[in-house]
Copies of this chain bind each other. A is one copy, B any other.
Amino acid sequence: MTREAGEKALAQCRERIDELDRRLVNLLNERSRIVEEIGRIKGECGMRIYEPRREEEVLRNIEEHNGGPMGHDAARRIFERIIDEMRTLQKLRMEDSRDGDKS
């Protein structure tokens, strides 16, 4: 492949990645909204936020549906980051619900 043809193919790949990333962002925000909802439910019912068993369940679901080429370890590390970020969001919503009770 010539350098010029390579540059052109690269530009096309990058457009596809940018479009795909926008879909990923939308899905992650959809996931965030459900996690916020869970935070509110847990806050209202006085449930615990950190549930290691549920986290293992989430990671098992990922692994079972990962057909590659992304490796299982890579998928696990990415979702551990997602879960971690969303736990923070859930904690905030849980506190909101409790504050709501007090007022």
Pick the contact of A67: B14, B18, B29 (CB < 8 A): B29
Interface size range of chain A in the complex = 35 or more
Measured CB to CB, the nearest residue on chain B to A3 is B45
Q: Does A102 contact B (CB under 8 A)?
A: no
Residues of B within 8 A of A29 (CB): 66-70
Chain A: interface secondary structure?
Answer: helix
Chain A residues with CB under 8 Å of chain B are 1-3, 6-7, 9-10, 13-14, 16-18, 20-38, 41-42, 44-45, 47, 54, 58, 61-62, 65-71, 74-75, 77-79, 81-82, 85-86, 88-89
Q: Once the chains are docked, how many angstroms separate the CA of A21 from the CA of B88?
A: 18
